[in-house]
Amino acid sequence: MVSIKTPQEIELIRRACTIVRETLDYVGSNIRAGMSTKEVDDMVYRYITSCGAYPSSLGYCGYPASSCVSVNEVVVHGIPSEDKILREGDIVSVDITAEKDGYNGDAARTFMIGDVSEEKKKLVKVTEECFFKAIEGLRAGTPLYDIGYAVQTHAESHGYGVVRSLVGHGIGREMHEDPSVPNYGKKGTGMRLKAGMTICIEPMINAGTYKVVFHKDGWTVTTMDGRPSAHYENTVLITEDGVEILTL
């Protein structure tokens, strides 16, 4: 069931989203080659908890970390490890959710480590562009699948694959709420968005095929062809005349 948030709930979500934004800014300023993905996760945990919040992913369905740190061909849900060392030329998606006073904020960024290839630079750039294409003209009354149509159209115009088996979502008291928000779809279809909805729009774009592999650890998802993937996500509030990006 889709939840329409009250002004009081929106303010609480906004506070959680501020912590998420600040955490990602902190990670972006400090992430570097030679660091393990566990060290990245430790940064996330320390920052979120220093703000009086809790990293929502820690313990979620048994997930063992405070963030998902996904390197190169890992699309999402990369489990932080002391053995996975970031190297010059890597791209690294860091996806975090913070809970503050019972409400959640969620966002992801793909960071470039040092001098990366032109292929990866373009992929990261286009993935971010996909998000902003998705919110163009978005407002109460917009059909839900217009979001995915915009993402898919922009990504595929660059020859990229749009992940089908992982989607965005509503957010509030729970990290994942209705509705599901695909990154593909037919324009003009789906439920009509309503003012007061809070949703996570998160393009997951692959340099090659859209097909992915789910690994035996129950979390890690990689591209089927081993080519790189990028991820860009924000929590968005739907209003009568537009959107407010709560994690920017």
| pLDDT tens string 129-183 | 999 999 999 999 999 999 999 999 999 999 999 999 999 999 999 999 999 999 9
Question: How sure is the predictor about 22, in pLDDT bands with cuts at 50, 70 and 90?
Answer: very high
The pLDDT value given to residue 58: 98
pTM above 0.85, yes or no: yes
Q: Which two tokens stand for residue 161?
A: 């694959």
* Predicted confidence (pLDDT) per residue in 42-101, tens digit: 999 999 999 999 999 999 999 999 999 999 999 999 999 999 999 999 999 999 999 999
Q: Is 19 in contact with 100 (CB distance < 8 Å)?
A: yes
Average pLDDT across the chain, whole number: 98
- Which of 209, 214, 237 lies closest to 140, judged by CA? 237
The domains found in the chain, sorted by start residue, are: 7-245 (3.90.230.10)
Residue 237 pLDDT: 98
Q: Which residues contact 59 (CB under 8 A, 6 or more apart)?
A: none
Residue 150's pLDDT is what?
98
Helix and strand numbers, DSSP H then E, in the chain: 4, 15
pLDDT of residue 117: 98
pLDDT digits (tens, 9 = 90+) for 181-218: 999 999 999 999 999 999 999 999 999 999 999 999 99
Instruction: Round to whole Å and give the CA distance between 155 and 126.
Output: 7
* pLDDT number for residue 8: 98
